[in-house]
Chain A
């Protein structure tokens, strides 16, 4: 059976950067997927990312993105869109980790044959904030994009019989402390 992985990238403590992990929580709580499908919140790894990018036949990534569009816009990227541009200087292990990690995985011949990055244009990335309204409203479109890709890949899924509200454990915390955290 083909191994399919859906990974959300982002820092849940930093506003719209948390869209990836948020979408993973939604998918987890609302859908049942075929065996062997893996849902994972990978947080904000640096060059550990190759571990989560390799070793699957199909990979769907969900990440906040900057493409100068309206906040909450959703855009899809394939492998060549990500690998088109050369890397810049890297000072620390976080900097362009996604692009570099994909390039490394490609170089090693371990790139999943199907790759999709679902990018969501963020608005605010401030520490201690939750998702902004426009990005929160984009969540159903992100889920649709995931499900369409699964259909294309002939991966079966259905609404969970015991669908429940997702537990976004970091969310109330952020709202509660929001007032104290804004940078002067």
Chain B
């Protein structure tokens, strides 16, 4: 018997991600991902000064402000073939690293941990046993029985009130939840601690960027940070020391808490390494350039059909092949036009209602050489692993060993091609970024101490038309901003965002996108409570760019699960 599930966050003015799935004998047999809001924000930029585009681009989305700002300045610099000074690269890298660490920590603990941890099991846990278990996982100093008991007491107080407050609508007691109470308690205790450490990551962004959530220090050609080791109000040695001491506080949380937690929980849900592979074409762009802008600490490239023995490497931030290969297809999206290159891209809406076989989303279908691609930390890790990238292998092998020992089953890199693999990859990437935070902090400090205080090369705009693409390997995957500048004004602007790649609809050939493909054959134990589908969707860390934020005090339905 086939039933249809629709998960649709409603009630607010703006749209969000909607998932439709047909379920046949307990497994998904057909899936659709739809974004219910028009994303035509690029049109605002046409006719503007390219030097200020990043200010607007960073308002595209409240979660991903920094990444849009960065891709925007890089796009204009690419069009101008403008090199930026080493200090500017390092300062940008430190901002990007800490933004990503913040984002990954929030994703695991605050966005998705409660898909795996059953809050209702926590009162049954023994805090002493929990603490002992934690000590077996890492040397983190905040795993004491008292710390665990204090976290447990918070849950007990909520449970005793007869209402679970904010947790009242969770899928507690769902048959797909099966962590021991002690692991649930440990995860929840760290859920509470995580807030402090994501804050520290934001502080680094704020010191360098001037302000969060909207950084102020970018400029086409570099950064606006003045460096003067003797002067207040500029980037001084004191501030560099402050950044380093924040890094020294964040690192243990990543190495001793986040990565071990993900490995332990993943190892206890080994079945999720066999679910949710989806589109097995992976793409990542190289990022975190050195001072010359030509070598990268994060590798980029493409892997097709899940074959980790064959990998195409991107040598530059916007490889020639990448420039040519990207199209956006609007066959099944509510726009006019067919498959267009982003420099020729149009954003002309053509709304129908939700049509299973026709148009059903505001997201276009980006394709690479005509193929759907999965992007995100998993792509980053797999592309690097396939290339033999040392830093990737160091942390991926360590994580796979830990997962294997928790699962009592050998986990190979191939197994990362799954729903749980996406969670694991994000933690692996965070450990890599933690190493790189130290490296780039030292690069910046040493370069300044060597006497280089340059942070900006001024842009000069030629007459006539130039094109550029700015890329960034953002927390959710490959981001690219494509600009056409004519006589120093923007004449086209297209942002191809990670969630567009992943939430892509079908294309003209009928190929489904990564969310849709990853939902295929997902188990669904209880169609009224489709926890399994949320696990797979959350594994991508969806972010429908440009949400607005209206507060609704009525408590009316925030999301609806409809089963037909």
Binding site for B on A (CB under 8 A): 9-14, 17, 41-48, 50-51, 54, 63-68, 77, 81-100, 103-104, 107-108, 117, 119, 122, 125, 127-128, 169-170, 173-174, 177, 180-181, 183-184
Complex: how many Å from CA A63 to CA B13? 14
Interface residues of B in 99-132 (CB under 8 A from A): 102, 106-107, 110-111
B558, A9: Cβ atoms under 8 Å?
no
CB distance from B538 to the nearest CB of A (A): 8
Nearest chain-A residue to B542 (Cβ)?
Answer: A92
Could you say which residues of chain A place their CB within 8 Å of the CB of B561?
89
Residues B59 and A12 in contact, CB atoms below 8 Å apart: yes
CB distance from B462 to the nearest CB of A (A): 25
Q: Which residues of A contact B212 (CB under 8 A)?
A: 48, 51
Find chain B residues with CB under 8 A from A99 CB.
166, 551
* Other-chain residue from B46, B198, B542, B549 in contact with A63 (beta carbon distance below 8 A): B549
Chain B neighbourhood of A82, CB < 8 A: 551, 553
B296 contacts partner chain A, Cβ-Cβ < 8 Å: no
Question: Given the complex, which residues of A lie within 8 Å of B553, measured CB to CB?
Answer: 65-67, 77, 81-82, 119
| Interchain CB contact (< 8 A) of A10 among B61, B549, B554 | B549
CA A91 to CA B544, docked complex, whole Å:
10
Q: How far is the CB of A33 from chain B (nearest CB, A)?
A: 18
B269 close to chain A: CB less than 8 A: no
With beta carbons under 8 angstroms apart, the residue of B9, B43, B47, B202 that contacts A95 is: B9
| A183–B351 CB distance below 8 A | yes
- Closest A residue by C-beta to B111: A93
Q: Could you count the A-B residue pairs with CB atoms below 8 Å apart for me: how many are there? A: 212
Chain B 121-155 interface residues, beta-carbon cutoff 8 Å to A: 154
* Among candidates A44, A89, A174, residue contacting B169 with C-beta atoms closer than 8 Å: A89
Q: Which of A44, A47, A128 contacts B61 (CB 8 A)?
A: A44
* CA–CA, A41 and B9, complex, Å: 26
Give the total of B residues in contact with A, Cβ under 8 Å: 69
Q: Are B106 and A86 interface neighbours, CB within 8 A?
A: no
5 more A-B residue pairs beyond the given contacts A13-B60, A127-B546, with a C-beta to C-beta distance below 8 A: A17-B548, A42-B213, A48-B212, A77-B553, A181-B40
Contact A127 B41 (CB under 8 A): yes
| Pair B167/A87 contact, Cβ less than 8 Å | yes
Q: Is the CB of A97 within 8 A of B549?
A: yes
B543's contact among A43, A67, A92, A122, by CB below 8 Å, is which? A92
Contact B165 A45 (CB under 8 A): no
* Binary contact track B163-177/A, C-beta < 8 Å → 1, others 0: 111111100000000
A143 to B38, CA, bound (A): 32
Query: Residue on B with the closest CB to A67?
Result: B553
Given contacts A86-B165, A95-B559, A107-B192, contact A125 B550 (CB under 8 A): yes
Give bound CA distance, A10 to B13, whole Å: 13
Q: Could you tell me if A48 and B213 are in contact, using CB atoms closer than 8 angstroms?
A: yes
Task: Select from chain A the residue with minimum beta-carbon distance to B18.
Answer: A91
Q: By the criterion CB–CB under 8 Å, are A85 and B555 in contact?
A: yes
Task: Considering the complex, give the chain A residue whose CB is closest to the CB of B548.
Answer: A17
- Tell whether, in the assembled complex, residue B111 and residue A128 are in contact, meaning their CB atoms are under 8 Å apart: no
Closest chain-A Cβ to B48's Cβ sits at a distance in Å of: 7
A89-B534, A127-B38, A169-B55 as given contacts; A108 in contact with B550, CB under 8 Å: no
